[in-house]
Structure 1
């Protein structure tokens, strides 16, 4: 039985954690054994899960990052323990997701990965791996990552450092470590990010774009009864037009300020609902914005998506947000800024794309949707999500990639399929 070992900071929690879980489930459906790591949040998983480090490790790593800009250069003992477990399990594929997040030492990990003959699949959910510091650079239109990072203009942005700026040294070290693995495939989650990788120091590696998928059974149009109950819970009157925004963390680059600007120009019968806010952020919201804290309850999210008149994603930098897909799957049109890979899921029949910062443009697009009626979009939105973003189809691409890597030949039946048949 072939074995997949995914290194993730979360399991079945948050967008990346849910993606790792769903990839593991797809692998198991093909007869694989699946392991997933976590350092922070985790929900119930069908894979075997492995905890990396402790809370103290994360806090210490965070302190080292804040003071000395040495992110992903701590948690050495935790990483060594992880490697011991990898050696015991002897996986056939090692798949990386985020390795940033205060839980791994990239030197220790990549020294090991470069010393073994195990295919590595690295899923890029952001741009951190190719920069000297930041995870995104669209917001400030920085191109230093193409040549040599230094004097980072986002030193205090995640993973923020308040004293030193090591972007120059970090860039050189990342380039040395990440290009040391012989058998590695980079999997960006959007076409946009794929083009970025091909302009970076990882340009010589195979790049196989696999867009994100979602559970279209969970994220689907919900019943009128459930929608009405949610309306009553949050006092959202039926005559209100609901403008929904969802994020795991809300900040300027995610469009929080844009929603506040939008709240100043919308009619009184429009209501903005933002999910994923912190308590302190909720206290500061204008009266026509309803703030809801982050939830792991995907059923509640599906109801909110179904209830909404429109889903608005005014992100200033993003790779391929699953929130767009979840809204579409629930039959709700999407408005997003023209940034990164966020536009790739939005066709003319299911929503609108406006230029970054054009809050008036967002309002005009909402008016267009209201004029036509949400019913005009509902079926098209659902159909697009089912055809393009069903996790069972999207994550099947990973299984095909694993088979190619283990076979060494494209379009040839490999030992994996042979073993599965033998087991049956």
Structure 2
């Protein structure tokens, strides 16, 4: 998106060498003067740890609440909703349920003060998988766990996102078990929820979700659940990184049920849509590209489809890089870009996940973020990139 050079230079690794890279200018992004209406769009936000906390694998998550909540206000200021307590916030990868519940409560209070849209994940990660019984007792425990977390989300004033459950993937023995659990949970909600189908590239423990490793069979179970409970379902978030599957599912959904794309590879074409419709958005990549994403959605509001497509398309290479395999480490890239853009004081993550990507991966992220116009202060970003490279033994 950027053409003008800033003259700011960083030596970046290219193979075994360091070569000069000249940064461009930041993109010209706009905050909306009125609510965005052409799409419902959520950015799935990450969490920022307290710098003096342990931040090592197995340690309880200790959050820098000021920085974490300020990031959410930043997303709201660009007209986006916040999807909180999701996998982007390291659910199942460092963020324990105690910290998650506190995050939901605090984000709920901030959303109320800002008038921001908020949806939060309700799952079953308070359960001890090793001690979880099999059969009906295990399924009953999963229903109770979902209900407990739904109460926390509802009390915070947020919309519920029913997250995929590792516990259910462990205990369920058939598609009927999935339908039974979800129908019991949905029966107790007082407003429509968002169902989340998270693929194994994001969480390998979810293999065979909806009762089958075959996507076609799993989709039939998923559709049955939606058809039988359409009044309880606002929409579905599908994170399978398969555009053709998403489009086919979107066209088959009952009237009034949204498809929130979770495809961080193919989101430009899915959000822009076609003559048969479009996807709304609930995306981890939006936490990284939110100024561009918001500007694109504003262009859609104004009927400028080509301009919106161009903006989103210019961020796609960055999205595909951040979410490259192993995809479940994408959170590391989002935190790194947050640090480069001075949204957090240090490059750290709960559970020690800042080591989840290589130096060369993050150097390429830096290049792609710059090319997309998403380094808001090139001089600061360049300084921090030099510090990171020096700490990792790459100096001129």
TM-score range, shorter chain: 0.3 to 0.5
Give the TM-score, by structure 2 length: 0.35
Bigger fraction of residues in helix: 2
- The structure, 1 or 2, with the larger RCO (C-alpha pairs under 8 Å, 6+ apart) is 2
Query: Which structure's CA Rg is the greater one?
Result: 1
